[in-house]
Amino acid sequence: MNQRSIFILFILVFCSVVHSQEENTVLTKDKKTLNIKRASNKPKIDGVLDDAIWTNADVATDFIQFRPEIGNKLPTAQRTEVKMSYDDDAIYVAAYLYDDPMKIMKQLTTRDNFGQNDFFAVILNPNNDAQNDTEFFVFSSGQQADAIANPTIGEDFSWNAVWQSAVQIVDDGWIVEIEIPYRTLRFPEQEEPTWGLQFHRHFRRDRSQYTWNEFDPTQGNIGLYHGELKGLKNLKPPVRLNLYPFSTGILNSFDGDTDTDLTFGMDVKYGITDNFTLDATLVPDFSQAGFDRVVLNLGPFEQTFSEQRQFFTEGVDLFSKGDLFFSRRVGGRPSGELDLDDNEEADIPEEVKVLNAVKISGRTKKGLGVGVFNAITEKTYATITRSDEIFNENNEVIDTIITKRREVIEPFTNYNILVVDQQFNGNSSVSLINTNVMREGEFRDGNATALVTNLQNKRNTYVINAEAKMSNVNYQNSDSETGFSSFFYMAKTHGNLRYSFDHSFADTKYEINDLGLNFRNNFNNFGADIWYQTFEPKGKLNNYRINAWINYRNLANPGVFTGMNFGGRYFAQTKKLNSYGFNFNVEPGKQYDYFESRDGRPFIFEDIASVGGFYSSNYNKVFAFDIDGGIFKIFEEGRDLFGYNIFLSPRVRPSDKLLMIYSFSLNMSNGSRGYATYQDDQPIFGERNRKRITNTVSANYTFNPFNSVALSFRHYWDTVNYDYELFTLLDNGRLTTDQGYTVDNVDESPNINFSTWNIDLSYSWQFAPGSFLTALYRNQLFNFDTMSQDSYSESLDTLFDQPIQHTISVRLQYFLDFNGIKSIFKKSNKPQSGQANNFLSNRKRRFGVNS
């Protein structure tokens, strides 16, 4: 029986098992309902519940635990009471969270950083579809976090809204007051809607968490367990037009040259309809994005980095469908190649400038989501320097003529994405996504399309995810190529014991790297996982999880075996909130790597095994630490590969305002073999010893929820030292030294000494809602040479001999809400005496001035 027959048989058996399950569980109990009343006067958001609207408001209480135990109710001394109200502008929430104030954890952190905090959360779902939530978190320290969430992406905290909250610590607990403007939500005009509603309360000291409407973590996505908010009447969504004008001043100094720049731009959010929003960045500025954690890349695939530009991280859940969108392609390195003579050198820009970018996204009441993305990058040139030597009659160099020219390395380029996503049953969806990249002139164009389904049965006990993808690359001067890829995943998603099966495929022409990311194609792989996990404490443990896996890999063309592996992992958290675990992985028998050679021939290695473990202490304590380590070894005849890695990261929190973390990692590999260089039209392999040391430091001092200072430092050092004799690769996948290559007789030494140094020191001040002043100082160093025998201190001295780049930037961003601007002009230019007195008293109260 061939592999495809086995695959089809497995699907049929699995599906028959799914449909033969008895309907013996009920997903949810009756939903709780909270009735909301309209406010005649807007409450003051100060954490003091003396406003009239809270007097007769209905109370949501009787919260029920779901972590670490399930089903417990809060004792009276820790009860939670929540009230809500609304008017034409916003939803208002007041929560009284009873507790011993001495036990409340309240570390000051930056926005969206949970730290060591108790928190209260409000989850709203205006469509009441169980899949598209908007989450608002308030920490006991007074800081905020917010996110959008759905079963596909989980929680996306890169989404940021402008809303207000206030916290007061009182004798018997803490109080939260929240104002959620309608501009932060997406909903149509509604007469008497029912919204999905959930409240969460988290006690950081023991990591226990409670919800208002009971939640069963053993099955189903959390959105299915929301209660309902009733009583809203005649809601009219506001004009959702938010402007974020900004200006950035930049000073750069490098190797004696200093340049300055002053930029102006604006980000725009506009509600095109009740449910659809346009996001645009006009003349974008990403100068304050964090530095990339560069490492030495010895492998055959490109090195990539995570996205740190806010426009490309916020609200991209629809565009992530099918994994066709890798946002670092927009404004990344130029895609073109240069044909240089031996006497020419090219200065190629590190990135392409983004001229503007636009996103339109939203979802209808019936669950139809639509997303449109467009970005434009400017034409980019490389500067080529040519050196022509002039000889005399004795063939002696008497002069050198230097000429320069510019050549287009990236043309004017247009990036486009279109997504249509239909959700149904509160837990399933089907999506169609297309990406398109059009480059001016003779440069290549790219197009990719995917059909994606996420299907779960109504009881939320089994899931099937399937993807079918097609790519087309137009090389302009040659024929275009069309490729295909697919992915299939089936899993049991309820109970303690769970399992899954997956299959992934890509032919040799599948290529999405114009706007997506695939490191390689040409694979036909199978995998299976099984795991057992607990959801309630047992013995000394809060929870634990054991899982095992096996993977079987082939090429798609030709259909040959390339390798397999199996392994296991154990994770546990104790009742004292310490976590630990261990893992192992084995690649038995011959493994065939068709990519390391860079020419399509296999490189064979055999019988590699690794084992590792970690321990993480309770972060609630003033001092905590993480330690991780592992070893690996090959058991192949004639090989002596052995390696290990150590990671240690202590952290100190001397006060609720200051957190300092130091991390050290050491990676050693002795006797590994791989591609070293290219010589005489063939790949040259070598046996090498590699040492990597990384030191990082981060420190954050938060004065209050609106002012913070952050330090980030990283030094990365990597050496690769090859044995004297080098190998060539035989067609049978084995290595030989018969051709006599050595480190000394190849054109370029393969030995490497590589190091980088980065420091970021930043200050952030939120001087008004949604408005920030940020100042950044950055310096960075880089060195790459062949001195692989140098010690750590010698390499550090060499690094400090390199020119250092200093960057200072100051960015001012202001938030403007159209509705706020409109209301200003509606008011009288001159306040009445009573208004003036109110303004003065409010100002005194805000700044702590006595009357």
More confident residue, 341 or 702: 702
Q: Is the pLDDT of residue 719 over 50?
A: yes
Q: Is the pLDDT of residue 457 over 60?
A: yes
Tell me the average pLDDT across 339-366.
91
Q: What is the pLDDT of residue 98?
A: 98
- Domain of 109? 28-230
Q: Report the range of poorest mean pLDDT among 113-122, 202-211, 307-316, 834-843.
A: 834-843
- Give the pair of three-digit tokens for residue 94: 């007041």
Calpha distance 498→433 (Å, rounded): 30
Q: What is the pLDDT of residue 680?
A: 94
In a domain, 789, yes or no: no
Q: What is the CATH number of the domain that holds 118?
A: 2.60.40.1190
Q: Is the pLDDT of residue 284 over 50?
A: yes
- In sequence order, what DSSP letters do the residues of 701-757 get, joined into one string? EEEETTEEEEEEEEEEEEEEEEEEEEEEE-TTS-EE-TT--BTTTSSS---EEEEEE
Tell me the average pLDDT across 667-694.
97
In a domain, 614, yes or no: no
Element (H, E) at 835: helix 833-846
Contact (CB, 8 A) for 100 and 75: no
Tell me the average pLDDT across 545-554.
98
| Residue 170 binned pLDDT confidence (cut-offs 50, 70, 90) | very high
Q: Is the pLDDT of residue 23 over 60?
A: no
More confident residue, 2 or 548: 548
Tell me the average pLDDT across 812-823.
83
pLDDT tens digit sequence for 637-659 = 999 999 999 999 999 999 999 99
Q: Is the pLDDT of residue 88 over 60?
A: yes
The radius of gyration of the chain's CA atoms, rounded to the nearest angstrom, is 30
Q: Is the pLDDT of residue 3 over 90?
A: no
Tell me the average pLDDT across 48-62.
96
| Residue 153 binned pLDDT confidence (cut-offs 50, 70, 90) | confident
In a domain, 219, yes or no: yes
Q: Is the pLDDT of residue 842 over 80?
A: no
42: DSSP letter: P
Count CA within 13 A, CB hemisphere, residue 651: 21
Q: Is the pLDDT of residue 60 over 80?
A: yes
- Give the pair of three-digit tokens for residue 480: 């275009």
Q: What is the pLDDT of residue 285?
A: 86
Domain count, the chain: 1
Cβ-based neighbour number of residue 307 at 10 Å? 16
In a domain, 207, yes or no: yes
pTM: 0.89
Contact (CB, 8 A) for 413 and 438: yes
In a domain, 390, yes or no: no
Tell me the average pLDDT across 745-770.
96
pLDDT tens digit sequence for 493-542 = 999 999 999 999 999 999 999 999 999 999 999 999 999 999 999 999 99
| Residue 826 binned pLDDT confidence (cut-offs 50, 70, 90) | low
**Cβ-based neighbours of 816, under 8 Å, separated by 6 or more:** 242, 243, 244, 245
- In sequence order, what DSSP letters do the residues of 591-638 get, joined into one string? EEESSTTSSS--EEEEEEEEEEEEEE--TTSSEEEEEEEEEEEE--TT
In a domain, 293, yes or no: no
Q: Please, what is the average pLDDT of the chain?
A: 91
Q: What is the pLDDT of residue 827?
A: 55
| Residue 845 binned pLDDT confidence (cut-offs 50, 70, 90) | very low
Tell me the average pLDDT across 425-446.
94
Q: What is the pLDDT of residue 189?
A: 84
In a domain, 195, yes or no: yes
Calpha distance 119→127 (Å, rounded): 25
Q: What is the pLDDT of residue 151?
A: 86
| Residue 743 binned pLDDT confidence (cut-offs 50, 70, 90) | very high
Calpha distance 384→407 (Å, rounded): 7
Q: Is the pLDDT of residue 786 over 80?
A: yes
Cβ-based neighbour number of residue 718 at 10 Å? 22
Tell me the average pLDDT across 722-739.
96
pLDDT tens digit sequence for 66-79 = 999 999 999 999 99
Q: Report the range of poorest mean pLDDT among 9-18, 36-45, 331-340, 691-700.
A: 9-18
- Residue type, position 624, single letter: A
- In sequence order, what DSSP letters do the residues of 339-372 get, joined into one string? ---TTEEEE--SSPPEEEEEEEEEE-TTSEEEEE
Q: Report the range of poorest mean pLDDT among 184-188, 297-301, 620-624, 747-751.
A: 184-188
Q: What is the pLDDT of residue 9?
A: 40
**Greatest CA span in the chain, whole angstroms?**
104
Percent of the chain with pLDDT over 90: 81
In a domain, 266, yes or no: no
Q: What is the pLDDT of residue 291?
A: 85
Q: What is the pLDDT of residue 478?
A: 73
Q: What is the pLDDT of residue 828?
A: 47
Tell me the average pLDDT across 172-180.
98
Tell me the average pLDDT across 217-245.
93
- Give the pair of three-digit tokens for residue 503: 């299959």
